[in-house]
Amino acid sequence: MPPLRPSFYKAACSVRPNVATRTLATFSGPAPRSPPSGDRVRIIEVGPRDGLQNEKNIVPLATKIELIERLAKTGLRDIEAGAFVSPKWVPQMADSPRILEYLLKTPPASPYPINYPFLIPNLKGLDAALSVGGNPATETVDSPPMPPPSPQPPPRRTPTELSIFLAATDSFSLKNTNCTVAESLTRLEPVVKLATSHHIPIRAYVSVVLGCPYDGPDVSPITVADLSNKLLDMGCAEISLGDTTGMGTAPRTQTLFRVLREAGVPIQRLAGHFHDTYGQALVNCAVALDAGVRVLDSSVAGLGGCPYAKGATGNAATEDVVYFLQSVGMECSVDLERIAEVGDWISGVLGRDNGSRVGKAVTARRA
């Protein structure tokens, strides 16, 4: 693998420059994305959803909301808050409608807009998400009437963003969603179309891009590139490439992004989502940054895992990613001390070891 370019070291974690263009009321259109570039990196905090979904014991609703509120005070601009999935298969997410209702009515106080995406698997999930705000999925969202003068902005009627997911292998797709990759694309197309008609941007997760628990580590990067192009053509605003099993290595991650670029996939529309099963999450983050990626998914305290990938451990810890980005001179909107406090708190609440080395070091230093 060639050395990282010197320009990489100029560049910690920021948000899309035009994040302020998101309104606090119903969107008049999908929020334009001006992806971070240069020295800025946008962190997508996935702890409240991807981090908690694999916890064996049901986390109380009050704890989930408190986690989101604490994260909102750290400088994060994107916090994935829940998922409208079947409670039969993912019982931890059963109270996501109540979380969305809370965020629509009383979002955590913040000096800047915060994006709270929710995961949806299909049209039923989309309908459930829209119904929370009183917007049936069979109709498009009308512009709200002009509110009376008020110092507070009117409450939002729709989620700020929704996410869909599919896999890069048929084996994982069949296990996870009971359909092939091709069938999954067909099912998701009307979801994207309907969501965008409600002026809600769609983010797409592609799982197992660097290794599948059933097919092994040799997932075709050409397949990943083809899926990414199809999802962008479908209308998705961003593609998050998931190393679900944590099998990714620096050379294969580098190859993946090279193939994506050669296939015409805009790097600025991609995000990296790396699990730390084999201790390679930060290495793969560095390779992604060197390839031009400026959006990284991470989870406070390294929370997470995958119910369909045996042995897959947590996501890249947000504390570790923030420290790494700062160490190489990249701009960051996240306060390391504050995010470490949140990681220490949620680890204690869950009764589990803090999965962030940096978080534990920062906490020990304060003791």
For 167-236, give the DSSP string.
ESSHHHHHHHHSS-HHHHHHHHHHHHHHHHHTT--EEEEEE-SS-BTTTBS---HHHHHHHHHHHHHHT-
351 — phi, psi (to 5°)? 65, 40
> Which element (helix H / strand E) includes 240?
strand 238-243
Cβ count within 10 A of residue 58: 12
For 178-189, give the DSSP string.
SS-HHHHHHHHH
CA distances from 24 to 7, 113, 197, 280 (A): 36, 8, 18, 38
In 3D space, the residue among 152, 114, 159 whose CA is nearest the CA of residue 132 turns out to be 159
> Which element (helix H / strand E) includes 261?
helix 250-262
What is the SS3 assignment for 11? coil
The Cα 126–Cα 338 span in angstroms is 33
Give yes or no: 306 in active site.
Answer: yes
Catalytic choice (13, 212, 236, 306):
306
Cβ count within 10 A of residue 343: 31
Query: Is the separation of the CB atoms in 268 and 37 below 8 Å?
Result: yes
Positions annotated as catalytic residues are 306
